[in-house]
Structure 1
Amino acid sequence: MYEEDRPINWKISSETMKIGEYKVQKAETDFGGRKWTAWFTTDLPYQDGSYKFGGLPGLIVKVEDDKGEYSFDLMKNYKIADFPSMNQFGNTIKVKRADFVKQQKKFMEDPMSFMTQGGGGFGQTRIMGGGISAPRGGGGGNQNPADMRKRMEERIKDEAKRNSNPIELQ
């Protein structure tokens, strides 16, 4: 995990409309290589929103990029007892954002090095952000391990390319 080190600079518009039961106001920003439009309400005085979006004078009810590839919409508003902490999702290591980005890039270039780190073998490593996991079980019979590794690496790289539309382009 990392703490975001890039501030989001919103340009608040005077444009308003109604989304569901909320009167909302428009705000725009450029973040992560995308142009975003957010609609926030001061009826809910929380300076928060989906993903990394926040810092407006009310709760973000809707935020979407200008290409229509990402859209976050408030579906329901209710109180929860406890907000989950990061350690509930397994062991986490706090790093700088630049180091996280560097590791993501290394994974895309050589996913197999991540699959074999720490002696975990092919069936045990999951890369959380990319939605990629090593296949379980061998099923290979008498195949050459080097050939199996090469085919697996090609499959993982192909899957990563096919499923790659990162929310942050830079």
Structure 2
Amino acid sequence: MKYTLTLFIFIFSIRCGFTQETTYVIDYDLKKAFKQLPTSSTFPSSLFIQTGNSTLYQVKYGVTPEEKVEDPNNLPQGNVIVVEGSDAFYFRNEGDTTLIYDDHIIFKHFTVKDEPKFNWTLTKDSKKVLGYNCQKATANFRGRTYEAYFTTDLGIQGAPWKFHGLPGVILHVYSIDGVFEITATGIKTFNDIEPLENPLDTTKMITWNQYKKKYERKYYELMNMVVGSGTGDYDSMPKMQLELLVEDRN
């Protein structure tokens, strides 16, 4: 979502009226390596998990891993989440299957209300990530197969991006085709934090199916324009990005 101004979600310490809860901040590197692009891209991101409340996943597309040394979301004494103009957000209330996030078609942005479902298969494979014991799980989701390593050592549940449904926190997840990977780089905790708020405009939300239909309509509209002009293949709007967006027509 594009913002004309830098917004701030102020998170104050609450002394009265709220039960003291712990906020977990898990930092990740998010890597995308689409085959139609010459190089891969890696972006810093953070997952905010509040026990008894909600989760917020923030991707800082305007910051490279080299630039994240001065991370504005270390949440020092000010306890403030910085919302930049090129950030992407995924917000979910605890216990709710609905995920709210911003997405776009060409240059038009939409607030999407999605209910992604993952049918995870737990395996006996395991490894350590950041010193935490992690178990491997696999799932097929909207055109890709994912392998995820999650930990129950933290005693909480949560996951970056749209991932959901495992009995712990995902610290490493990737698609087996090498297109998508998210790796935890650090974990911090904070106490006495006000409940997270959704930074997205929810007044005009559309569902995932509505978004997909809009994307598919624009895809074939552009394809027909290209075919009619005889200028060749149109590949800047693929059928599949991180998820399958255009079904093959019979």
What TM-score, normalized to structure 1? Answer: 0.60
Q: Percent identity?
A: 25
Q: How far is the alpha carbon of 1:18 from its aligned partner?
A: 1.2
> Matches of 1:38 and 1:18 in 2, distance apart?
12
Listed one character per residue, the Cα deviations across residues 132-169 of structure 1 (whole Å, up to 9, x for unaligned) are xxxxxxxxxxxxxxxxxxxxxx9xx66445xx861112
Identify the structure with the greater helix proportion: 1
**Equivalent in the alignment of 2:151:** 41
**Equivalent in the alignment of 1:138:** none
User: Are the aligned partners of 2:130 and 2:186 in contact in 1 as well (CA < 8 Å)?
Assistant: no
Larger Rg: 1
Which of these residues, 59, 64, 85, is aligned with residue 169 of structure 2? 59
State how many pairs are aligned. Answer: 123
Q: How far is the alpha carbon of 1:42 from its aligned partner?
A: 0.6
Which of these residues, 231, 236, 242, is aligned with residue 167 of structure 1? 242
> Matches of 1:102 and 1:86 in 2, distance apart?
25
Structure 2 CA distance for partners of 1:10 and 1:91, relative to 1, 3 Å: closer
Structure 2 CA distance for partners of 1:33 and 1:62, relative to 1, 3 Å: same
Listed one character per residue, the Cα deviations across residues 103-150 of structure 1 (whole Å, up to 9, x for unaligned) are 122333457xxxxxxxxxxxxxxxxxxxxxxxxxxxxxxxxxxxxxxx
Larger relative contact order (C-alpha < 8 A, sep ≥ 6)? 2
Q: How far is the alpha carbon of 1:39 from its aligned partner?
A: 0.1
Listed one character per residue, the Cα deviations across residues 15-72 of structure 1 (whole Å, up to 9, x for unaligned) are 1111221111000000011110000011122221111112111100011011111001
Structure 2 CA distance for partners of 1:57 and 1:34, relative to 1, 3 Å: same
Q: How far is the alpha carbon of 1:86 from its aligned partner?
A: 3.5
**Equivalent in the alignment of 2:214:** 103
Q: Secondary structure at the match of 2:206?
A: coil
User: Are the aligned partners of 1:13 and 1:25 in contact in 2 as well (CA < 8 Å)?
Assistant: yes
> Structure 2 unaligned runs (5+)?
1-110, 223-230, 246-250
1:1-170 to 2 correspondences below 5 Å: 1-79=111-189, 81=193, 83=196, 85-87=198-200, 93-110=204-221, 159-160=236-237, 166-170=241-245
> Structure 1 unaligned runs (5+)?
112-153
> Matches of 1:68 and 1:99 in 2, distance apart?
28
> Matches of 1:35 and 1:104 in 2, distance apart?
22
Identify the structure with the greater strand proportion: 2
